[in-house]
Amino acid sequence: MRALLIILVWVLCIQTGLRAQEAFSYAQTDSVSYALYEKAAWKPLLQYGKQAIAAGQDFLLLRQRMGYAAFMLGRYSEAISQYEKVLKEDKYNQTAHTYLYWSRVNLNQPEMARAEIKYMGAADIPLLQKKSSSIYAVGAEFSRKQTKLTERGNATYSRLLLGARVGEVYMDQSVAFYRQTISEPLLTTVNNNDHISINQAAYYNRIHINLNRHWQAKAAWHYLYTPFNNFRYNNNLLLAGVKYYNNYFDVQADVVLGKLTDTAMQQYNLQLGVYPLGNMKLYSFSTAMLRQQQSTSINIKQVLGLQLSPAIWVEGHITAGRFHNLVENGALYVYHAIDPNLSKAGATAYFNLKHILLQAGYTYEKRELYATTNTYTQHSITGGIIWKL
């Protein structure tokens, strides 16, 4: 029976002229789309719906059925597009708001998903979202950086993180520590420069505020205290930006201003995120970074992600171009070692175990020794865990 129904749909879809107009009457379109919906024939329903809309039949129930079909197929971007059409006719439609919420969640956009909460039915709202404030994530990250260069000791980086929401403001906070011992005879003003202990401590706070269903404002403050034997540096970085979420892509523009090692710096970032399949099975983030600190330089960072299974993702990343005093990931990571980076690339795997997200990664860096043309390599192994409440 289902096969016969699908054959009927295909026959209807290829009609042209007046015959097509008759095949896609309101009554016919409503009847066939509902039958496909009842049969859970999601792909034929989407195909038929697009043909019907092209023939002039476009109504709320058809869009709602197509939105649900797209959601069930994991095409969350298309589901968003269909349900937003529903809201143009019925802005309080709880079904549309509910599936918009879950589509944003499945596109890894939990903050934007909250824009739908006030329109959803009480039974459909997750318990954590009903609270006026909540803690939504806690976690830790640890990295060990190794090199064979005797003048540069192995380094460690550790970070504790806390994600909290207060009203409509999302706040991601981190406390981080960096440890390394280096030897650099060219730093003649540093006491005991054959044994320089770097014990950096940092605090990071980033906030997100939804402006509407597609726009978000961002701000961040990163403070780093960097002792360097007889020197002490208090580094402050401020970020301000906006992000626009389309259905298949997003764009973020931001600026970072501040001081690193007593030198003023500015960095201007433009990032494009793309998820061509309408889900997180394949995604890309491309970031152009223009920095001004004594001179002007440009770097490009590319991230490509792929879902290997329902619970496993892998990401490859590369930062192209020489850099020194560079910030990445919304000013969360700061590269301000005395040795410039010539290249940086790596890969990270993510394992989603219900409320636990595990990560394991490797990064390769080629660096240039301070005030020379000699190069060396650094290898980093990173592990992390996030408990999503």
Distance CA 309, CA 280 (A): 11
| CA–CA separation, 84 and 100 (whole Å) | 8
Distances (CA, A) of 345 to 301, 348, 383: 9, 10, 16
- Token couple for 348: 């990270």
Residues near 156 by beta carbon (within 8 Å), at least 6 away in sequence: 142, 143, 144, 145, 177, 178, 179, 180
pTM of the predicted protein model: 0.90
Residue 217: what pLDDT? 97
pLDDT given at position 12? 52
Q: Which amino acid is at 237?
A: L
Supply the pLDDT for residue 4. 53
Token pair for 105 = 């969640």
- For the chain, which domains are there? 2-126 (1.25.40.10), 133-388 (2.40.160.40)
**For 60-77, how does the pLDDT look when each residue is reduced to its tens digit (9 = 90+)?**
999 999 999 999 999 999
Q: How many CB atoms lie within 10 A of CB 18?
A: 8
Q: Give the chain's end-to-end CA distance (angstroms, integer).
A: 45
CA atoms within 13 A on the CB side of 23: 20
Helices and strands, counts by H and E, the chain: 9, 16
**Confidence at residue 132, expressed as pLDDT on a 0 to 100 scale:** 85
DSSP string, 182-209: E--TT-TTSTTTTSEEEEEEEEEEEEEE
Show the low-confidence residues of the chain (pLDDT under 70).
1-23
d(CA 168, CA 210): 7
CA 342/CA 367 separation, integer angstroms: 5
What separation in angstroms does the CA of 99 have from each of 4, 67, 119, 209?
30, 8, 11, 21
Q: What is the pLDDT of residues 303-315, one digit of tens each?
A: 999 999 999 999 9
